[in-house]
């Protein structure tokens, strides 16, 4: 694995890191800055990377979950994930597009692109509504992290 990482550019590593659930652009932006990228470029490529999984989740998660539920080994795990996601969906159900933007855009644990995409898929939101909302929310969260990274660099003189 270390051999493979040695051949990747910093940009490619940040894109890959931003595609990881829970880390997403929020974690990839400061990692990119720590690896020597400017905060703005780190923002751009982290947003790009964290957006890549969205259409796959929106279009493929329900069939994938159905298949996993048919396997006894995964049934309870998938049910827990689904219930947990739906439990977080109150504002998305209530406010739709704007609720999804807000959910993805506030960089708190348990929110973000992966969870927002999962909730949108489980709520049967149309992709033409869900994808732009998730992208805008991701951009908002990214800008917040960009501002924090930029402020930290200026404050500490890095």
Looking at residue 1, what is its pLDDT? 55
The conformational region for residue 24 under phi > 0 = left, psi -120 to 50 = alpha, else beta, is left
| Average pLDDT value over all residues in the chain | 90
Q: In the predicted model, is pLDDT for residue 118 greater than 90?
A: yes
Looking at residue 156, what is its pLDDT? 65
Looking at residue 7, what is its pLDDT? 80
- Which has more pLDDT, 33 or 129? 129
- Which has more pLDDT, 148 or 92? 92
Looking at residue 2, what is its pLDDT? 65
User: Any residues with CB less than 8 A from the CB of 73 and at least 6 apart, and which?
Assistant: none
Q: Which two tokens stand for residue 47?
A: 């947003």
| pLDDT (tens digit per residue) in 139-154 | 999 999 888 877 776 6
* pLDDT mean over 85-107: 92
Looking at residue 107, what is its pLDDT? 85
| pLDDT (tens digit per residue) in 30-71 | 899 889 998 899 999 999 999 999 999 999 999 999 999 999
Rounded to whole angstroms, the maximal C-alpha distance in the chain is: 55
Q: Which two tokens stand for residue 140?
A: 């908002």
d(CA 7, CA 71): 38
């Amino acid at each position: 694995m270390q051999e493979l990482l040695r051949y990747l550019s910093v940009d490619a590593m940040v894109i890959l890191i931003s595609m990881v659930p829970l880390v997403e652009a929020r974690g990839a932006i400061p990692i990119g800055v720590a690896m020597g990228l400017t905060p703005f470029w780190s923002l751009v490529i982290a947003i790009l990377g964290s957006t890549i999984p969205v259409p796959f989740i929106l279009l493929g998660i329900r069939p994938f979950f159905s298949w996993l539920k048919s396997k006894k080994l995964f049934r309870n795990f998938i049910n827990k994930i689904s219930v947990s996601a739906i439990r977080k969906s109150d504002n998305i159900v209530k406010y739709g597009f704007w609720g999804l933007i807000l959910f993805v855009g506030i960089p708190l644990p348990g929110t973000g692109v992966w969870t927002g995409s999962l909730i949108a898929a489980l709520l049967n939101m149309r992709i033409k509504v869900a994808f732009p909302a998730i992208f805008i929310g991701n951009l908002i969260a990214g800008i917040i992290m960009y501002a924090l990274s930029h402020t930290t660099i200026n404050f500490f003189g890095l």
